[in-house]
Amino acid sequence: MLSWNNSWHSSSTENRTMEREIVASYEPKKNNEIRMFESSDEMATDLAEYISQVSEISIKERGYFAIALSGGPLISFMRKLCEAPYNKTLDWSKWYIFWADERAVAKNHVDSYYKSTKEDFLSKVPILNGHVYSINDNVTVEDAATDYEFVIRQLVKIRTVGVSESNDCPKFDLILLSIGSDGHVASLFPNHPALELKDDWVTYITDSPVPPPERITFTLPVINSASNIAVVATGEDKAKAVYFAISDGAEGPDAPSIPARMVQPTDGKLVWFLDKASASFLEAKTKNDGYEHPKY
């Protein structure tokens, strides 16, 4: 694993040299960190330890751990939390589960993030059912978004979910996101009006470019108000999106305005978890000074 704080593990001198070159070329923005992994198992191991540490700190400081999940391959990478030592050592009774986005389908539908999360994670750890906040799947997507924001507002009032000091947004202890090949995060897609929302905490869309079309999603102010944000990227199809989200070389009027690039914590920390394939454009630039920036 390569981390921008230079605490990496590598199997060869060549890899270590290349990783140092990448570190030199991509110094992260303030409070941002980038970690690269040789294998999915290594990524899952490190992600579990990262989540464990954030949860322990949050519970010690606040008495609660409010975590918002998303879709994609994310839940499969949380599998290590279901194993020793975490399944026995974490204070699961203090965990509160939310979704940064969800598809407006029935909870037992194959497209439901709740369903996949329950099957692959929630059913394997002792999180209290009353601490799992899924969307209302018996109403319209607009009403589901309104209901979800209301629920979160009530929990902010009693500080089960923290509140940002710089605005009135909820301050989740951790928001876990995956990135799409188009650079979307949560259900915030490129050039969508939902990206411009400032006052809403939760909104809805009916025109997702990938099915199903109806979804609810946290807005950017809520995502950026979190204490900790982790973005997980896997696969070569994410490489361009990762490059444009991270690289300073993508600055300027021609740089595509992708949602993942807009994830910048107001008063928190952002960590990118990348496999080798998703980081391939970052690596390619370090190997060839004349490397042409990828274009969408």
Predicted confidence (pLDDT) per residue in 140-166, tens digit = 999 999 999 999 999 999 999 999 998
| pLDDT at residue 256 in the model | 62
Residue 218 DSSP class? E
| pLDDT at residue 6 in the model | 30
Residue with tokens 């454009």: 281
Contacts of residue 104, Cβ cutoff 8 Å, sequence gap at least 6: 135, 137, 141, 144, 204, 212, 214, 215, 216
SS3 208: coil
| pLDDT at residue 254 in the model | 44
Residue 25's Cβ-count burial label (10 Å; 0-12, 13-18, 19+) is middle
| pLDDT at residue 47 in the model | 97
Domains with residue ranges and CATH for the chain: 32-283 (3.40.50.1360)
| pLDDT at residue 71 in the model | 85
Residues of the chain with pLDDT below 50 are 4-25, 253-254, 288-293
